[in-house]
Structure 1
Amino acid sequence: MITRQTIDTIFSAARVEEVIGDFVHLKRAGGNLKGLSPFVDEKSPSFMVSPAKQIWKDFSSGKGGNVVTFLMEHEQFTYPEALRWLAKRYNIEIEEDREQSDEQKEEVKLRESLYIVSEFAKKYFVEQLNETEEGKNIGLSYFKERGFTKETILKFELGYSPAQRNAFTEYAEKKGYSKALLEASGLSVFNEQGNGIDRFRERVMFPIHSFSGRVLGFGGRILRSDAKAAKYLNSPETEIYHKSKILYGIFQSKQAILKQNECLLVEGYTDVISLHQSGIENVVSSSGTALTPDQIRLIKRLTPNVTILYDGDSAGIKASFRGIDLILEQELNVKVLLFPEGNDPDSFAQKHSSEEIQNYIAENATDFIQFKAKILLEDAKNDPVKKADLIRDIIQSISLVPNMIQRELYIQETSKLMDVREEVLFKELAQILQRKGKEDVPAQRESKPLEVVKEVEKVVIDPINIVEEEIIKLIMQFGNLVIELTADDDEKYETTVIEEIIRQFEVNDLQLKNELYQSILEDVKLGYEQEELRAGDFFIKLFDESKTSVASEAMIEKYSISKNWADKMGIYIKPKEDHIVKDITDTILRYKSFYLDEKIKEFSFILKDENITGELRIEQIEKIMILTQMRSKIFVALNRVI
């Protein structure tokens, strides 16, 4: 665990405008900075950054928070990953307070060493590609023949490993890297005599990055046609590289996947690179291996929509059905696209513009049922037995879909496509699900289309929630502000906004209806008991995304009047602090009035019960009268007409 002191140091050093400025083009807007949302496509900027308060708010997506939550949202980091990223950026040493065994310490040390040597190797291969004659003549020439630009080569950090058997190993050892570490990384192979050779010699190199951008391993392609070695070679499994848990291009593509809410899945490294160069950046590769549940979950962190792109003449399409089934099990929406025969994503991208590729995908991507049926029907032809097996195969896939409504829609589609009655298909589905021990599905169904009724959304404004939101804003913006109030006996007294709100709620036994707001209020009370005023600054640094978002929204204004413009127009704008006493008094009174309304309605409802008679009925009426009188006094205080 990262120590609290280290976290505080990170928050003190990190500047939200500097970090976000690396990802978003920001322009000055009064005291704030403004830019286009990095989370949704928009033409008018609604993304606000407050350097003074060290917070940000995206009014298009509703997201907001501090510098750490931005990295978590934008880069999909975990909380510790975001802190470590910031620590590295600002040269802050990470301190951890967890007691570790010697074995655990060694494991952590090995993992970190593997990251370091992998980064070292990447830089070596890049240097060999761009700065040596061999690298330029062989590696760089190959990449240029593939049509890769200098910018693309730099973006994916492509490199070259020289033909000399131990060029990298010898260089790494001279730089102080041990044989044990080089062997553990999979970069070098040593014999019994301790002589090492380079695993990737004479290959162009494709670094494989983690979700957060660290180099985990490599893929290497040999260029000699007469070579007996495998055309492509990957790093072996190591402490940091697990082929089944990573997707090539995920680091370079994650922002585009988030923004477009779709992931394109291809087979090879060059497929990813060529599509990126053509402007299609929401694409990753399974690196030629069968898709795994871990890889699918990686995609699911970014989007529920997957489109698999296959070569036009791919021989392994049927084998890929297992991958589609795994995607369905993870509740993702899957489509499939076949390129024209003789084309793969790489070659198709080289020959077409970004717009042409996007149009082709949009027009030709089909859902998995149509795709599977088309492929399998070619084998079945008019053979009824084979066709029955095909239908069972499709129903088997549908049974993997957890969502019952989706299953029903897929059954309807299969019924039309295969010209088979729905009730027959539902019966087959029920049998499969029962064998799996899943929920019972009706065996007989009337063959009627599922009616999807689109309800008209009604916007219900809850006045209590609005006032509760204002109370939270007062806490966040002015919680520790000292104010002067007048007591019932006309005596003046000083207090803080937080203390006054807590006092009013405890004296009147009030509680916020909104669970999140009430949880924030409980945090504020706890802080007060510990002699700590927990205002917006406290919640901005809290590791609770929902509370941090509330704090950022409360502390940053979407619209603000430029001081220069106001001065030019001769307009004097009073600071909010000048009327904070009135704001807090009126807000609490309004909340009390709504609270009394609820109680009056509650007791009035009880009176409708015919069994409430005699003294009990009189008691309820008296309660209503007292509450009504209290509410009338509040209305007078608020200058309302009763």
Structure 2
Amino acid sequence: MISQRTIDIIFETARVEEVVGDFVNLKRAGSSLKGLSPFGNEKTPSFVVSPAKQIWKDFSSGRGGNVVTFLMEVEQFTYPEALRWLAKRYNIEIEEDREYSFEQQQEEKERESLFIITEFAKKFFINQLNNSEEGNLIGLSYFKERGFSKEIIDRFELGYSPKQWDAFAEYALKNGYSKEIIEEAGLATFREDNKQYDKFRERVMFPIFSFSGRTLGFGGRILRNDVKAAKYLNSPENKIYHKSKTLYGLFQAKQEIIKSDQCFLVEGYTDVLSMHQAGIQNTVASSGTALTNEQIRLIKRLTENITVMYDGDNAGIKASFRGIDMILEQEMNVKVLLLPEGEDPDSFAKKHSSQEIENYIKENATDFIRFKVNVLLEEANNDPIKKAELIREIVKSISLIPNSIKQEVYIAETSKIMGIREEVLFKELAQLKNSGSKNSTSHITDKAREKKPEISIVTTNKEVLNIQLTIETEIIKLILQNGDLEVELKDENNELYKTTVIEEIISQFNENELTLSTPLYQKILEDVKVGLENNELRTGSYFSRSSDSEVVNLATEMMLEKYSLSENWTVKQGINIKKKEEFVHKDLFDVLLRFKIIYIDNFIKNLMDKTKNKDITQEELNDILKQIMHFTSLKKILNEHLNRVI
């Protein structure tokens, strides 16, 4: 058996659009990719791939799933065979379960504990920012003075760590977290003299998220100038947080990056916040570190186009050359945008509208060749030796590009700009190239085998559907599509309270001892309950990675709605359609009430059937009739809540 650790690495590394692209010619359609189904002959593309959700759906056959299930369908692989194929394609070492030692199991537990404590800390810092006097006066005031809106503060889940020496440490210990895990996460220090100190005290907090949205660590900015401390402090490296493998804002930016097929790379937290607030929401930051291959690969999962934004500082610009070369080496398209003197992305975004920023980008973003020429020609100062070095520097960058056609285009561009014959540049390129050519690991296999389409779980027949099945389907759809969404509801006293979709559904089902009649739906519901017990909200992205093909197909179908309006159509028609999330609280209230009504209907029906029993006594009959009256009255109350007339 392949270990769960390896399976997780495979799912984190493999890109569904790349693998599907080996078999299907995909073209961008909004934030998704579309192509002709590999499972049948069709003229109109109905095969959809979502890079953001890492799932696919073939609407012609009803099939769908993740990168593993695609290989199982198209190549008839078993689940382990598909995993091994992906491991080989992405050079991932397979770890077998029998090699999964006790120490490795403990390491996995520690990783999960770190995720839990960082999530706990994030909520603590958010609460301090919004609900404490100190947080309001210092933290919230700082963010507002910097011009950040409440929407941005909430979207990036910004927080505040109080001045008290051990506010978080004390709170975490009281809630059952061990000193060891608190210290491992870099949130506090515990001394032998029983004194404890919060690492981030008196700082505004910037949570750092993984690609999938899990809290990995924090960046904290101190607001006082009269202390000898670093302006910014980051969480230490640990089993879940690796600074070189994360990009600030990527989780919030990934949908817009896919939609625009472009990523803007800046340096700091506030650069990202200001750009997003100005409407440039496909912006991420390297958070002050030198750009790494791991960070570039994260962006490449979403787009091949990067524009690097610099504030015009010469030292920083020259240091960026290495990062640009690394981007080129990953076979990505890189442009550079220099901002006006004295401006950085934060200040520039605050002074200009979204349209003005977009116009500036269009007019001033330049390819890496012109960028290097403009920067280095000033140093060359008509010195022929320095000019020759400049040309070699540019050709060296071109040599890193794996695509030979792109190399030729850039050579022609360099020849034109520098006034050097192409033959001379190609000769220099040949000398710089590595002696061994890289072997491609991608291979297009034989034509996909045809397979009889499976019946879709969520049927679209014109037949009248069973009402209970329809309502149960809506409940599962809410869980898979919006399970982690926070909603505001009213209790029996008409008082507002906040919860998540999953927490409300599970609470209602537990309180009323409800179950779903559809076995697959009940199976998912039980899995969601287990997740909730472990402080995890299991939504569609979780179930789309299941080893159960039936579960994966259902999750995929519900996550990719066939009849949803395309973004392009909406824009062209000039129709302003509200996001579905805006209606979730009403849908949740409605579907739970309807389900309870159906549940009561079935209960009343069972009671009515009992009255037909010839052997029933008058006393038993009276008791049953009382129950029928009680549940009929309850049903009437629920219908009134739905504003229905009976």
TM-score normalised by the chain length of structure 2: 0.57
Give 3-state SS (helix, strand or coil) of 2:315's partner.
Answer: coil
Q: Which residue pairs with 1:63 in the alignment?
A: 48
Which of the two has higher C-alpha Rg?
Answer: 1
Question: Is the counterpart of residue 407 in structure 1 residue 407 in structure 2?
Answer: yes
Measure how far apart 1:421 and its partner are: 1.4
Measure how far apart 1:438 and its partner are: 3.9
Equivalent runs, 1:235-634 vs 2, <5 Å: 235-313=235-313, 315-433=315-433, 436-438=434-436, 475-476=453-454
Give 3-state SS (helix, strand or coil) of 2:416's partner.
Answer: helix
Equivalent runs, 1:87-106 vs 2, <5 Å: 100-106=100-106
Q: Which amino acid in the other structure matches residue 62 of structure 1?
A: F
246-255 or 186-195, which deviates more:
186-195
Measure how far apart 1:389 and its partner are: 1.0
Q: Which amino acid in the other structure matches residue 280 of structure 1?
A: I
Q: Which amino acid in the other structure matches residue 155 of structure 1?
A: R
Q: Which amino acid in the other structure matches residue 339 of structure 2?
A: F
* Percent identity (aligned): 60
Question: Is the counterpart of residue 148 in structure 1 residue 133 in structure 2?
Answer: no
Q: Which amino acid in the other structure matches residue 220 of structure 1?
A: G
Give 3-state SS (helix, strand or coil) of 1:336's partner.
Answer: strand
Please say if residues 540 and 548 of structure 1, whose CA atoms lie closer than 8 Å, have aligned partners that are also in contact. no
Q: Which amino acid in the other structure matches residue 287 of structure 1?
A: S
Structure 1 gaps, min length 5? 5-38, 48-56, 81-96, 441-464, 480-538, 560-642
Measured in 2, the distance between the counterparts of 1:119 and 1:558 equals 36
For residues 60 and 221 of structure 1, do their structure 2 counterparts lie closer, same or farther at Cα, with a shift above 3 Å needed?
farther
For residues 425 and 557 of structure 1, do their structure 2 counterparts lie closer, same or farther at Cα, with a shift above 3 Å needed?
closer
Give 3-state SS (helix, strand or coil) of 1:437's partner.
Answer: coil
Measured in 1, the distance between the counterparts of 2:563 and 2:140 equals 49
Measure how far apart 1:64 and its partner are: 5.9
Measure how far apart 1:195 and its partner are: 2.6
Give 3-state SS (helix, strand or coil) of 1:169's partner.
Answer: helix
For residues 384 and 166 of structure 1, do their structure 2 counterparts lie closer, same or farther at Cα, with a shift above 3 Å needed?
same
Measured in 2, the distance between the counterparts of 1:68 and 1:425 equals 43
Measured in 2, the distance between the counterparts of 1:61 and 1:416 equals 45
Measure how far apart 1:542 and its partner are: 8.0
Measure how far apart 1:428 and its partner are: 1.2
Please say if residues 114 and 185 of structure 1, whose CA atoms lie closer than 8 Å, have aligned partners that are also in contact. yes
Give 3-state SS (helix, strand or coil) of 1:63's partner.
Answer: strand
Measured in 2, the distance between the counterparts of 1:291 and 1:405 equals 26
For residues 367 and 77 of structure 1, do their structure 2 counterparts lie closer, same or farther at Cα, with a shift above 3 Å needed?
farther
Q: Which amino acid in the other structure matches residue 129 of structure 1?
A: L
For residues 149 and 114 of structure 1, do their structure 2 counterparts lie closer, same or farther at Cα, with a shift above 3 Å needed?
same
Measure how far apart 1:233 and its partner are: 0.8
Measure how far apart 1:77 and its partner are: 8.7
Measured in 2, the distance between the counterparts of 1:540 and 1:137 equals 44
Structure 2 gaps, min length 5? 5-27, 36-41, 59-64, 70-95, 439-446, 458-543, 565-646
Q: Which amino acid in the other structure matches residue 48 of structure 2?
A: K
RMSD (Å) for aligned C-alpha atoms: 4.2
> How many residues are aligned here?
406
For residues 254 and 556 of structure 1, do their structure 2 counterparts lie closer, same or farther at Cα, with a shift above 3 Å needed?
closer
253-262 or 314-323, which deviates more:
314-323
Please say if residues 278 and 354 of structure 1, whose CA atoms lie closer than 8 Å, have aligned partners that are also in contact. yes
Please say if residues 47 and 56 of structure 2, whose CA atoms lie closer than 8 Å, have aligned partners that are also in contact. no
For residues 384 and 542 of structure 1, do their structure 2 counterparts lie closer, same or farther at Cα, with a shift above 3 Å needed?
same
Please say if residues 328 and 400 of structure 1, whose CA atoms lie closer than 8 Å, have aligned partners that are also in contact. yes
For residues 326 and 288 of structure 1, do their structure 2 counterparts lie closer, same or farther at Cα, with a shift above 3 Å needed?
same
Measure how far apart 1:147 and its partner are: 0.7
Give 3-state SS (helix, strand or coil) of 1:355's partner.
Answer: helix
Please say if residues 206 and 269 of structure 2, whose CA atoms lie closer than 8 Å, have aligned partners that are also in contact. yes
Measure how far apart 1:418 and its partner are: 1.0
Give 3-state SS (helix, strand or coil) of 1:134's partner.
Answer: helix
1:541-565 Cα distance to aligned partner (Å, 9 max, x none) = 98899x979x98xx99889xxxxxx
Please say if residues 68 and 79 of structure 1, whose CA atoms lie closer than 8 Å, have aligned partners that are also in contact. no
Measured in 1, the distance between the counterparts of 2:54 and 2:382 equals 58
Give 3-state SS (helix, strand or coil) of 1:331's partner.
Answer: coil
Q: Which residue pairs with 1:51 in the alignment?
A: none
Q: Which amino acid in the other structure matches residue 404 of structure 2?
A: M
Measured in 2, the distance between the counterparts of 1:114 and 1:540 equals 22
TM-score normalised by the chain length of structure 1: 0.57
For residues 128 and 60 of structure 1, do their structure 2 counterparts lie closer, same or farther at Cα, with a shift above 3 Å needed?
farther
Q: Which amino acid in the other structure matches residue 277 of structure 1?
A: Q
For residues 61 and 379 of structure 1, do their structure 2 counterparts lie closer, same or farther at Cα, with a shift above 3 Å needed?
farther
Q: Which residue pairs with 1:113 in the alignment?
A: 113
Measure how far apart 1:225 and its partner are: 1.7
For residues 364 and 68 of structure 1, do their structure 2 counterparts lie closer, same or farther at Cα, with a shift above 3 Å needed?
closer
